Amino acid sequence: MALPAESSTAAALPAIPPDVTVTPVRSSADKTAFIRMVYPLYRGDPNWVPPLEMERKDFLDPRKNAFLEFGEVELFLARRGGEVVGRIAAVKDPHYNEFHGTNDGFFGLFECVNDAGVARALFDAAAQWLRAQGFVNVLGPMNFSTNHEVGLLVDGFSTPAAIMTTYNPPYYGALIEACGFTKAKDLFSFELSASAEPPEKVVRIAEKMRQREGITVRCVNLKDFPAEVVRLKEIYNSAWEKNWGFVPMTDREFDHLARDMKQVVRPELVLIAEVKGEPVAFSITLPDANEALKAANGRLTSYGLPIGLVKLLLASRKIRRLRLVTLGIKEGYRRRGIDAILYLDTLRTARRLGYEGGEISWTLEDNHLVNRAIESMGGKRSKTHRVYQRPL
């Protein structure tokens, strides 16, 4: 039955509890509260990985986060009797709207107690700010664009979140839907074990293509880091051009990301495929640093002592999982099996280095070509993240 959207959502919206106030983050104390509110919220959840407080602080610092050089973010905190019960970020990404010719705003960093009224108060505040910017739609969660963490976890709560992916309590989906949001897009994650042999047929075809097209795969040369970053950037911005939600990264954004990744990267797992010496595709697989991050529990020091740092360093030597974060092929070199070659080489290297397996994420639900390729390698869908939307 088709009801006018207007009346159906308006009637269904949960009431805002009178004792809840939502205020924009202004002081540094507010900002600290914004960052720290997650730790009590997730206490006891074995699959939640506490982010490092300082990393989050830098993420919200316009001097440290390259996105904030062009994008604008307004943070809101919901409080009930002085206690923080929710948070949200309203995001203005001019590059997205320029690139897609849209007029959309985003929300992100959404966290909330299980109370639809609080969620609504947060979304109202964000929506009001976004409306004032002149936007007509709101999408999210985006922290703060598809180049960072995206989506709300709606399926696959039984395993810990992999590096640079989002995690949330299962009830968030219901909260967001109660506030009038509908699905915009699902993002898939696949689980792959390093011990499983890839299907023989795939291997055969891949090897044949490698011979025929003259494809060579090498790993990244960290000694020549700046030049390698330039090569990757070029492939990245041309490979994702037509993808849903894609925003080209600015040079500064890419450099920042590269810099952050360099901290955890194993160069053997960053592969660049070349055809006649020209880089045409790459894949980045990172050790799942979240396994180690968990040990630190959000801080590198406690009582001034570097306990977290030591734990983090010790745990980081025991990382056994990987995440294939991104794989991109330049226009004109697709459907030649380059992706299969990169998957296979990554798998082989992972096995050689002693990794147990890992996650390939994320892919768009309707990117059948890629999804099928991953499944043909033996990948099993493990998680679904969802991006929601709502007219403002």
Partner 1 sequence: MSDVFDKCRSWKDYRIAKATGLYPYFRSIEASHGATEVEIEGRRVIMVGSNNYLGLSADPRVKEAAIKAVEKFGTTCSGSRLLNGTLALHEELEVRLARFLNRESALVISTGFQTNLALSSILGRHDIVFSDRQNHASLVDGIRLGFATERKFRHNDLDHLEQLLAAAEPDSAKLIVTDGVFSMEGDLCNLPRIVELAKKYNARVMTDDAHSMGVLGEKGRGVPEYFGLEAETDLVMGTFSKSFASLGGVLAGPFEVINYIRHKARSVIFSASMTPASIAAALKSLEIIEAEPERRARLLDIAEKMHNGFRAMGFDTGVSVTPVVPVHIGDQVKCFRFWKALHEAGVFANPVIPPAVEAGHALIRTSYMATHTDAQLDRVLDTFETIGRRLGVIPETRPTVYEPVKIARPGTGVRSNRASEKWAAGSAGQLAAKGLTLEQLSRMSSREMAGKLFDAVEQLTWRAANLQPADLRKLGGASMRLWEKRGELPGLLLEKGANFFMRNGHDQNNSQAERN
Distance (Å, rounded) from C-alpha 44 to C-alpha 62?
Answer: 32
**Bridge-partner residues for 185, per DSSP?**
387
> CB under 8 Å, gap of 24 or more: what pairs does 35-44 form?
35/60, 37/77, 37/84, 37/86, 37/87, 37/111, 38/111, 39/298, 41/111, 41/113, 42/169
Distance (Å, rounded) from C-alpha 39 to C-alpha 36?
Answer: 6
Work out whether 300 is an interface residue with partner 1 (CB under 8 A): yes
Instruction: Please say which residue, 211 or 263, places its beta carbon nearer to partner 1.
Output: 263
Residue 225 Cβ vs partner 1, minimum distance, rounded to whole Å: 8
Residue 143 Cβ vs partner 1, minimum distance, rounded to whole Å: 20
Distance (Å, rounded) from C-alpha 147 to C-alpha 142?
Answer: 9
Instruction: Please say which residue, 31 or 185, places its beta carbon nearer to partner 1.
Output: 31
Instruction: Give the interface size with partner 1 as a residue count (CB under 8 A).
Output: 15
Of 44, 304, 332, 354, which lies in the binding site for partner 1, with binding defined by CB under 8 A? 304
Q: Which stretch binds partner 1 (CB under 8 A): 41-49, 76-84, 264-272, 304-312?
A: 304-312
In the chain, count H helices and then E strands.
Answer: 14, 15
Residue 54 Cβ vs partner 1, minimum distance, rounded to whole Å: 4
Instruction: Please say which residue, 174 or 305, places its beta carbon nearer to partner 1.
Output: 305
Distances (CA, A) of 15 to 20, 83, 84, 217, 249: 11, 20, 19, 57, 39
Residue 351 Cβ vs partner 1, minimum distance, rounded to whole Å: 30
Q: Is 82 exposed, middle or buried (0-12, 13-18, 19+ CB in 10 A)?
A: exposed
Residue 235 Cβ vs partner 1, minimum distance, rounded to whole Å: 23
- Return the residues of window 51-80 that contact partner 1 according to CB under 8 A: 52-55
Residue 185: left (phi > 0), alpha (psi -120 to 50), or beta? beta
Work out whether 286 is an interface residue with partner 1 (CB under 8 A): no
Instruction: Please say which residue, 284 or 327, places its beta carbon nearer to partner 1.
Output: 284
Of 301, 348, 375, 380, which lies in the binding site for partner 1, with binding defined by CB under 8 A? 301
Q: Which stretch binds partner 1 (CB under 8 A): 131-139, 243-251, 255-263, 370-378?
A: 255-263
Q: Is 169 helix (H, G, I), strand (E, B) or coil?
A: coil
Of 303, 317, 318, 354, which lies in the binding site for partner 1, with binding defined by CB under 8 A? 303
Instruction: Please say which residue, 312 or 327, places its beta carbon nearer to partner 1.
Output: 312
With beta carbons less than 8 A apart as the criterion, state whether 149 and 143 touch: yes
- Binding-site string for partner 1 from residue 330 to residue 349, where x marks contact by CB under 8 A and - marks none: --------------------
Q: Looking at the chain, how many residues does it have? A: 392
Work out whether 174 is an interface residue with partner 1 (CB under 8 A): no
Instruction: Please say which residue, 44 or 226, places its beta carbon nearer to partner 1.
Output: 226
Q: Measuring CA to CA, which residue among 207, 212, 155, 160 is closest to residue 348?
A: 207
Instruction: Please say which residue, 9 or 302, places its beta carbon nearer to partner 1.
Output: 302
- Binding-site string for partner 1 from residue 263 to residue 282, where x marks contact by CB under 8 A and - marks none: x-------------------
Residue 265 Cβ vs partner 1, minimum distance, rounded to whole Å: 12
Work out whether 314 is an interface residue with partner 1 (CB under 8 A): no
Instruction: Please say which residue, 302 or 367, places its beta carbon nearer to partner 1.
Output: 302
Work out whether 262 is an interface residue with partner 1 (CB under 8 A): yes
**Bridge-partner residues for 138, per DSSP?**
105, 390
With beta carbons less than 8 A apart as the criterion, state whether 381 and 189 touch: yes
Work out whether 302 is an interface residue with partner 1 (CB under 8 A): yes
CB atoms within 10 A of CB 268: 15
In the block, tokens 């006649």 appear at 276
Q: Which residues bind partner 1 (CB under 8 A)?
A: 52-55, 259, 262-263, 299-304, 306, 309
